[in-house]
Amino acid sequence: MTRADAIVLALAAALLGGLYAHYWRAGPPARIAEIRRGGELVQRVSLDHEARIRVAGPRGTSVLETRAGAIRFLSSPCPQQFCVHSGWLHRGGEATACLPNHLSVQVLGGGQAFDAMVF
């Protein structure tokens, strides 16, 4: 191992430390999300692979999408589309809902950044 090697290793360690400190401030990435209808648990989904989930509610079918540790409403049969506009949920505790369709999504694990969402 040369001196230059040692410097590279030291820089690598510093880089890793910095990355964890910066991007894991709110905890490690979330693992699963819970989808509920009218308060009842409909499905638990793992967030570490790509998937499309169709959930039926009183107003029709909402479609959710998971990818790379996050989940979002892709489409929903509601007039205001607040759920879709919420975008990707990835922090532990982050949640959104399609109130007209009685559906809610919440991300679990990953350090519980939030106990509740206000909107």
Partner 1 sequence: MPFRLPRLALPLVLGALLSACDQAPQARTEQMLAFGTLVDITLVGVSDKVADEAFADARRDLEFMHEAWHPWKPGPMGRTNQLLQTGGWFSANPSVMPLIAPARRLERTSRGLFNPTLGKLEALWGFHTDERPEDRPPPAPEAIAALVKQAPSMEDIQVKGIRMRGTNPAVQLDVGGFAKGIAIDRVIARFRELGIENAIVNAGGDLRAIGRHGERPWRIGIRNPRGEGVIAAVEVSGDESVFTSGDYERYFIYKGKRYHHILDPRTGYPARGAVSVTVIHPDATTADAAATALFVAGPDQWESIARSMGVKDVMLVDESGKVYMTPSMARRVELLEDPKPPVVISGGGGGT
Partner 2 sequence: MELQLQTTRDDHRVAWLAALAVAIHALESALPSPLPGVKPGLANVVTVAVLVLYGWRAAVWVSLLRVFAASLLLGTFLSPTFMMSLGGAAAALAALGLGSLLPGRGLSALGYSVLAAIAHMAGQFLLAWGLFVRHDALFVLLPVLMTAAVLTGIVNGIIAAAMLRRLRP
- List contacts with partner 1 (CB under 8 A): 36, 38-39, 79-80, 82, 85-88, 91, 93-94, 96-97, 99, 102, 104, 112-119
Closest separation between CB of residue 39 and partner 2, Å? Answer: 26
Q: Which is nearer to partner 1, 53 or 117 (CB)?
A: 117
Q: Are 58 and 101 in contact (CB under 8 A)?
A: yes
Task: At 79, give phi and psi (nearest 5°).
Answer: -70, -40
Q: Which of 103, 104, 110 is nearest to 68 (CA)?
A: 110
What's the rounded Cα separation, in Å, for the pair 97 and 35?
A: 9
Closest separation between CB of residue 92 and partner 2, Å? Answer: 10
The partner in contact with residue 85, picked from partner 2, partner 1, none with C-beta cut-offs of 5 to 8 angstroms by kind, is partner 1
